[in-house]
Structure 1
Amino acid sequence: MPRYRFQIALRGEVIEDHEGIELAHRAAAIEHAIVAMREMLAEDIRQGCVDLTMRIEIIEGGGATVHVADCAAAMAAGTMPARRRA
């Protein structure tokens, strides 16, 4: 399985992912990034300081950036099925 790293650009800083995770394919990596982005946005909303410039760069094992997830993608309806709350 390919390894993907997720670098987060947030409030003028870049948080590098040095380990990454193995995922079956690029679509799974994009979904992972969007879910993470939504969780970070939700926490920002709870704290009252939302950064809409946040983005997550998805980097494949060879070092190439293959996708950039931004706030617009995370908030777009229909991007992926919504998770049900228990």
Structure 2
Amino acid sequence: MARFYFQFPERGPTFEDHDGIELIDLDAARQQAICSADAVIGAEVKTGELCVGCRVDIIKVAGKTFATVPIKDTVKIDAR
């Protein structure tokens, strides 16, 4: 188990994760990043904004980014 943190760097300090979560591995952290992104997307849509160019950074040790999940990769956008 390792502690992972999830940050939304384009959204500033409001979206900084100071607690993190214990997860088994990077795959579990990616799934958590997608869940975190879904929550942020839901909140943004309610305000009429959506940053599809934003990302979720997965941070593991000492503030260093371990992996990145682009927001646009977490949703299917239908432009009909």
Report the TM-score range of the alignment, normalised by the length of the smaller protein: 0.7 to 0.9
Return 19-28 or 64-73, whichever deviates more: 64-73
- Taking structure 1 as the reference length, the TM-score comes to 0.71
* Aligned partners of 2:55 and 2:68 also within 8 Å: yes
Structure 1 residue 8: deviation in Å? 1.4
* Aligned partners of 1:2 and 1:61 also within 8 Å: no
Which amino acid letter does the alignment assign opposite residue 33 of structure 2?
A
Identity %: 29
Aligned residues: 76
Q: Which runs of 5+ in 1 are unaligned?
A: 78-86
Structure 1 residue 43: deviation in Å? 2.0
The structure whose residues are more often helix, as a share, is: 2
CA RMSD after TM alignment? 2.1
Distance in 2 (CA, whole Å) between partners of 1:57 and 1:44 is 18
- Taking structure 2 as the reference length, the TM-score comes to 0.75
Distance 1:45 1:63, change over 3 A: closer
Instruction: Verify: 1:75 aligned to 2:48, yes or no.
Output: no
